[in-house]
Amino acid sequence: MTTEVIDAVGTWTLGDLEVRRIGFGTMRLPQTGKALIPDAVPRDRRQAVAVLRRAVELGVDHFDTAAFYFSPLLSANELVNSVLAPYRDDLVIATKVGPARDAVGAFATHAMTPEALRGQVEENLRQLGTDHLDVVNLRIVRDDQFAERFGALAEMRRAGLIRHLGLSNVRPDHLETARAIAPVVCVQNPFGFGAFAEQREMLRLCGELGIAFVPFYSLAGTRREAGAVEGEDSPELLAVARAHEATPAQIRLAWTLHQGAHVLAIPGTGDLQHLAENVAAGGIRLTGDELQLLDTADRQAL
């Protein structure tokens, strides 16, 4: 497989940074099974390194990571640093701040003050081995001091520590407040088959504003961390998959990308075969009839 496959899906810009519309999410890279739990089983380091290297070879240039993506033995940021640094000019590394995990992996207090957020930004800078962060997404866990916290990130952007700002897990009012403080280049929100009305509203709003919409759980849909379950796919989705000689997961991903040119997918995996399948999904062109059929399955998944 060459980069022609990933090129087929096109590009979008995060501020002044152009990226292909299929990226890579690193959340599952440090461990196997369910992610972000204290007793996560670490993935074999050689396998994780091989996946990252192969992603670059396949043309992936947008990597989503975070300091709180780690297992007892592996850290996503450290893996990204060891494999991708020194970073090529055409690679975009996006990270997020807000949530925090303690040394054993349990979620602890979130960064609710400007000082705590600065500490998280500096932690990402150290772990990634860089003097600035391409994109920092503020993940919302509570509404407390949202404007103050986003304003603190805007100050760090003006100081040169951050190039562009984004939001994660937000509502339209968060986006409106943030845009009055500083430019927002992307929104990371859950979206997939069976997406709720408010999730669809954010997809639409970002398209109108020219902001990248970066869905997480695009493969799992409403199952979120539990992941998609083999055998539970709808007849409509299975029929389209057979027509394209593709997996149901590839059709879910292709359908997500068809929701708008501003949609950037960041499917994550620690498996080389799944990586190849995810990238190949960018080359799947769904017909109008197939999209209508999948939209029917999408509504039934609600």
**54-66 pLDDT, tens per residue?**
999 999 999 999 9
Q: What is the pLDDT of residue 85?
A: 97
Residues 52/46, Cβ–Cβ less than 8 Å: no
Count the Cβ atoms, other than its own, within 10 Å of residue 215: 26
pTM higher than the cut 0.85: yes
Active site residues: 69
Residue 222 confidence class, pLDDT cut points 50, 70, 90: very low
Percent of the chain with pLDDT over 70: 95
The third-level CATH classification (topology) of the domain covering 3-233+261-285 is: TIM Barrel (3.20.20)
Least confidently predicted of 142-156, 210-224, 286-300: 210-224
For residue 224, pLDDT beyond 50: no
Per-residue pLDDT tens for 79-111? 999 999 999 999 999 999 999 888 778 887 788
17 membership: H or E segment, kind and range: strand 17-20
Would you call 133 helix, strand, or coil by DSSP? strand
Average pLDDT of every residue of the chain = 92
- Over residues 62-75, mean pLDDT: 95
For residue 184, pLDDT beyond 50: yes
